[in-house]
Structure 1
Amino acid sequence: MKGYLTLGIDIGTSSVKARVLDTRTNQIVAKGFQTHPLLLSKPGYAEQEGDSYWSAVKSAIRQCLDCGIDAENIAGVALSGLVGVMLPIDKDGRPVRPGMIWMDARAEEECNEIRERVGEEVINYNNGNRIACWFIEPKALWMKKHEPGLFNKTYKLLSPAGYCTYRLCKEFTINKGDAGLFYPFDYQKGEWNTELAEKIGVPIDKYPKIYDCDEVVGTVDDEAAAETGLKKGTIVVAGGTDISSAALGCGVTKAYQAYYSMGTGSNLGIMIPTPERKEEFRILKWPHVIPGLTMFDAPMAFTGASLNWFNGTFGGHEQVVAKSTGQNVFSLYDAEAAAQTKPGAGGLLYLPYLGNTLSPHWNPNSKGVFFGVTLSTSREDMIRALMEGVAFDLYSNIKIAQASGAKIDGLTLNGGPTKSRFWNRITADVTGIPLSTTNVDEAAPLGDAILAAKGAGLCDSIIAMSKDIVKVTETIEPDMKNHEMYQDFFGIWQRVYENLKKEMDDHHQLLFKYNFTK
């Protein structure tokens, strides 16, 4: 099939985004967007249906084609997606249960079993990561223990991107980035460790074949063509993780570059050479889409989700104003907080742990906290404190990364919340690090489109193509006077969490005892 367009699709926690790239001009010429649901049935449970991912992918593709795109001109497609999702698939390619996603914290007991049976240091050395509910095998062992029939029915464990790639071309595959979230993946050799898989208790035959991120895995088949509108025979490329594709799509392609991606959750990503071992496991490691680079990545769970929670709970007025004026509701929060508060939010501190915490604490029992409420605390202080609390969470990971030897001179920004200049200013001042914005609206699907171009033979170098497309539009320098003030409050912010860990554990147990499922 000939063509000059490529299609990149990113499956996020709350939505799917698609972009069509014209490789002749390096311009985005079509967009698609579709939300999909999150299932929260019990405290600590967080699931999504595999077919919800696929339905959203189909809708996003159709929206792109409805922009006047001729499917005949699309030469290749690649998908990325959220990571830390245990999605079991049967031999016929159907999900056997909803996927337990990265937010799901039910498998702490299984984490302890892996520590006892295998050893944390063995996982650290092979996979480069820690043992935590966030990864695949603890969730798989939970299914093996509590749903043995479904575990036995499972043919392959796929990622969301891997499942939707299967729906396109009927091949069971996993890209190297997604594979990095599975403990048997040897992150320096780039292959499965069969002995380790068996020791953990998940048979190696349940793992799919690993592909390089720009490698062709198949072509769109008749069924997928009918469902999506793509042409049969369109090349399907392996793709990457949402974070690694986003790094490519915002121009972070060299060792020691760093970026900050914000969405429902967020990620601090620092590029390190794969042979360079860092004995720091509060921050994760998995392959970049670029061979030879590893993402030294700190995921944080409740970034945009914190402001979404506030909007859904307290934002009735702003929602009405936004609807009547056509404004973005979150820009209204920016304006209110900017006009009526000062840096520091009157001393109000916020721990952004609305379900659990990922890097650096990895505590599935953690809870959100507002600390420092007084009679003078305003609603606008809460808005600013939400943003500052998210920035403090980022700063805690930056300090850990720097202590491990990682050098961070600046952060390239990407993701919906980074469209807020107000929030970006807070992030720069809290961290004391310059931030750069780019001309890219959504980096992950652009990164996927670049990978598809390489797989389809439309470019020789994904690094060169990224460099041609991505341009810095603004650099935000930190106000160091504000940074000094934030440093003082950051110490208290850290102690609030440390002093409440036991109470968080006890509170978590009471949620189950009294069946508080909301």
Structure 2
Amino acid sequence: MFVGIDIGTFETKGVLVDETGAVLAEARRRHEISTPAPGRVEHDPETVWWGDLVHVADALMRHPRAGEVAGIGVSAIGPCVVAADEDLRPLRPAILYGVDTRASAQIETLTRRLGEDEILRRSGNTLTSQSAGPKIAWIKDEEPDVWRAARWFMTSQSWLVAKLTGEVVIDHGTAGYFHPLYDFRRGRWDVAGCEDFIEERRLPRIAWGDRIAGAVTPAAAAETGLPEGVPVVVGTTDSPAEAVGSGVVGSGDLMAMYGSSGYFIRVGETPAAADGLWAAPFVFEGTYVLAAGTSTAGTATRWLADLLALTDQADDVTFARLLELADASEPGARGVLALPHFAGERTPFQDPLSRAAIVGVGLEHTRADVARAVLEGVGHSIAEAILTFRRAGQELSRVVAIGGATKNPHIVGTVSAVTGLRQEVADTAGAAYGDAFLAALGVGAVDRPSDVGRWVGTRAAVEPDRQGRDVLQRDHEDFVELYRSLAPLQHRRTR
């Protein structure tokens, strides 16, 4: 038996899986983000991450076969920054991934200091809100007492694995987002030019995500109910774990994750950098990814449901109401167009100051048109991110869609209509399922990454809709022009 636990932006999920890939037990726990100031998004590691892990692990360990657990995998949102002391106590709330845009000044400073070409050579990326290095610099600049007291600067799953095993380790894939502190092609830390805010000894050791980090300690076993001494793999962030859990491990495969935000991973066999995309190692030795991300997807639908007074205590009722309302409109939302940049935007614009807009509304329009426009706007945002791969010359041999928003035909359908791509919707339990597979691989219960194909199936496929394709492709051109036209005004109003 294998345990996988994934901490997401708004929910933690765990699964208990046998050696054939069958899920025998699941457990979930909801949580919230903290937004203490504009551009700042945080979690409390102890109450959210560890508290959720304890809750979910305890629930899974009530299964009759829990005593057969042979390996554990953990993933979490990232790249986050956790400043912790020698005893792994967090010294401040964790700074989340690219949705947290607080380090804009540090990005500018480091880019001037090192030079964009050197950063790109070293990291395979330029600096953006997705970069963890500038966030460490922000702590040094804005909270010097915390910075001085910190023994470790870690990420989410590395902190959780350390809590479970006592081993401070980070996977290559997540270390690859600590730009400009990681040498992408040599696969090691390189803090040259950044010594004023980080020393290599304060960063975790680096290993591949499917390798064993250590074993569950007696203290962690007592707190979580997980068996003492069971191996724990190094793990990775939620998105690569989602890719593994959806069977995206082959060269040319693209994972399209429709979650609270959008995230997209294309797997390859050689390190490559491309303008507008993030380059990083993947989970397994000798594999690499180019990745993209949007800032809002499912969070926009939640905002929309609240705005239109559709919210019910049961999420499935809320979103059924939203879909029913949007169905009353038509493709193109009768001329209403939405830019869903509620928290800025990542790929391809990399613009933390962009904000949402709804245009083209007249007295003739209804709540249904607004609902349809926002859902299609999320689809346009995701489509633009996926098109960035194509512009970079990256072949997409297979597209696998996962996440809660795959149940929304107006979002997923817009993406296929605009890109012309067929999407397979994976039948998977998500990142936690990928974690369980990594645990099985780490202890030798499966032989190779491609064996995940025996675990994962497909529950649906989304084809480009000929009827709505023309109008949605025209709308997409206007979508990009809308962003570019509004950007100067948005920047003045949000600085």
Shorter-chain TM-score category?
over 0.9
Task: Letter of the 2:182 partner, please give it.
Answer: F
- Give structure 2 stretches of 5+ with no counterpart: none
Q: Does residue 1:381 correspond to 2:369, yes or no? A: yes
Quote the offset at 1:99 in angstroms.
Answer: 1.1
Q: Determine the structure 1 residue equivalent to 2:466.
A: 480
Indicate yes or no: 2:443 matched with 1:450: no
Segments of structure 1 that go 5 or more residues without pairing to the other structure are 510-518
Q: Secondary structure at the match of 2:36?
A: coil
SS of corresponding position for 2:40: coil
Shift of 1:49: 1.0
Give 1:373 shift.
1.1
Q: Which residue of structure 2 lines up, in the alignment, with residue 97 of structure 1?
A: 92
- Work out whether residues 79 and 156 of structure 2, in 8 Å CA contact, stay in contact via their aligned partners in 1: no
Task: Give the partner amino acid of 1:174.
Answer: I
**1:421 to partner: Cα distance:** 4.0
How far 1:288 sits from its partner (Å)? 1.6
The question of whether the paired residues in 1 share the 8 Å contact of 2:325 and 2:367 is answered with no
Q: Which residue of 2 aligns with 1:47?
A: 42
Aligned to 1:354, what secondary structure does the other structure show? Answer: coil
Cα distance, 1:336 vs. partner?
2.4
Aligned match for 2:348, one of 343, 352, 360: 360
Task: Tell me the CA shift for residue 473 of structure 1.
Answer: 2.8
Residue 204 of structure 2 corresponds to 208
Secondary structure of the residue that 2:417 maps to in structure 1? helix
Instruction: Tell me which of 419, 430, 438 is aligned to 1:431.
Output: 419
CA distance in 2, matches of 1:355, 1:185: 27
**CA–CA separation in structure 1 for the residues paired with 2:454 and 2:348:** 35
What is the 5 A alignment of 1:94-493?
Answer: 94-102=89-97, 103-183=99-179, 184-195=181-192, 197-198=194-195, 201-275=197-271, 277-280=272-275, 282-316=276-310, 318-319=311-312, 327-338=316-327, 340-440=328-428, 442-464=429-451, 466-493=452-479
CA contact (8 A) 2:239 2:257 kept: yes
> Could you tell me the percent identity over the aligned residues?
27
Aligned in 2, Cα 1:9/1:206: closer, same or farther, shift over 3 Å?
Answer: same
Partner SS state of residue 202, structure 1: coil
Q: Are 1:172 and 1:208, in contact at CA under 8 Å, matched by a contact in 2?
A: yes
Query: Counterpart of 1:512?
Result: none
Aligned partners of 2:401, 2:252: CA distance in 1, in Å? 15
Asked if the contact 1:453–1:459 (Cα under 8 Å) also holds between the matched residues in 2, the reply is yes
- The equivalent residue for 2:483 is 497
Query: Partner amino acid for 2:185?
Result: Q
SS at match of 1:41: strand
CA distance in 2 between counterparts of 1:110 and 1:73 reads 48
**Residues 238 and 264 of structure 1, relative CA distance in 2, 3 Å threshold:** same
TM-score (norm 2): 0.95
Tell me by how many angstroms 1:499 deviates: 1.2
Q: How far did 1:422 drift?
A: 4.6
Shift of 1:39: 0.8
Please tell me whether the aligned partners of residues 409 and 433 of structure 1 are also in contact (alpha carbons under 8 angstroms): no
- Per-residue CA deviation, residues 446-470 of structure 1 (Å, 9 max, x unaligned), is 1110110112221211321x11011
Residues 308, 367 of structure 2: 8 Å contact kept: no
Q: CA RMSD in A?
A: 1.7
Q: Which amino acid aligns with 2:355?
A: K
Q: Secondary structure at the match of 2:416?
A: helix
Structure 1 residues 243-289: Cα deviation after superposition (integer angstroms, max 9, x where no partner): 111111111111111121011101122112233x2332x11122221
SS at match of 1:248: helix
TM-score of the superposed pair, with normalisation by structure 1: 0.91
Aligned partners of 1:244, 1:192: CA distance in 2, in Å?
Answer: 20
Q: Determine the C-alpha separation between the residues in 2 that align with 1:363 and 1:476.
A: 30
Work out whether residues 246 and 400 of structure 2, in 8 Å CA contact, stay in contact via their aligned partners in 1. yes
2:23 to 23, 28, 43: 28
| Partner deviation per Cα, 1:158-211 (whole Å, 9 max, x = no partner) | 11111111111111111112111112212222211243543x742111111011
Q: Please report how far the alpha carbon of residue 350 of structure 1 lies from its aligned counterpart in structure 2 after TM superposition.
A: 1.2
- Is the Cα contact below 8 Å between 2:252 and 2:398 reproduced in 1? no
Encode CA deviations 1:112-143: one digit per residue, 9 max, x unaligned: 11011111111211111121122111111111
**Cα offset, 1:409, TM superposition:** 4.5
The amino acid of 1:478's aligned partner reads P
Q: Is the 8 A contact 1:104 1:133 kept in 2?
A: yes
Q: Distance in 2 between matches of 1:116 and 1:134?
A: 18
Q: Which amino acid aligns with 2:296?
A: F
Distance 1:431 1:347 in 2: 20
User: Do 2:259 and 2:403's aligned partners in 1 also have CA atoms closer than 8 Å?
Assistant: yes
**Equivalent residues of 1:87, 1:158 under 8 A apart:** yes
Q: What secondary structure is seen at the aligned counterpart in 1 of 2:177?
A: coil
Contact 1:388-1:430 at 8 Å conserved across structures: no
User: What is the CA–CA distance in structure 1 between the aligned matches of 2:239 and 2:444, rounded to whole Å?
Assistant: 24
**Structure 1, residues 217-252: CA drift from partner, whole Å, max 9, x if none?**
111111111111111111111011211111111111
Give 1:110 shift: 0.6
Residues 166, 69 of structure 1: CA spacing in aligned structure 2 closer, same or farther, 3 A cutoff?
A: farther
Greater shift in the superposed pair: 184-193 or 53-62: 184-193
In the alignment, which residue of structure 1 is the partner of 2:12?
A: 16
Offset, 1:423? 3.4
1:92 match: secondary structure: coil
| Distance of aligned partners of 1:410 and 1:348 in 2 relative to their CA distance in 1, 3 Å threshold | farther
Q: How far apart, CA to CA, are the structure 2 residues paired with 1:409 and 1:238?
A: 29
Deviation at 1:472, TM superposition (A): 2.2
Letter in 2 for 1:180: G
Q: 2:82 aligns to what? A: 87
How far apart, CA to CA, are the structure 1 residues paired with 2:10 and 2:493?
Answer: 28
Residue identity opposite 2:440 in structure 1: A
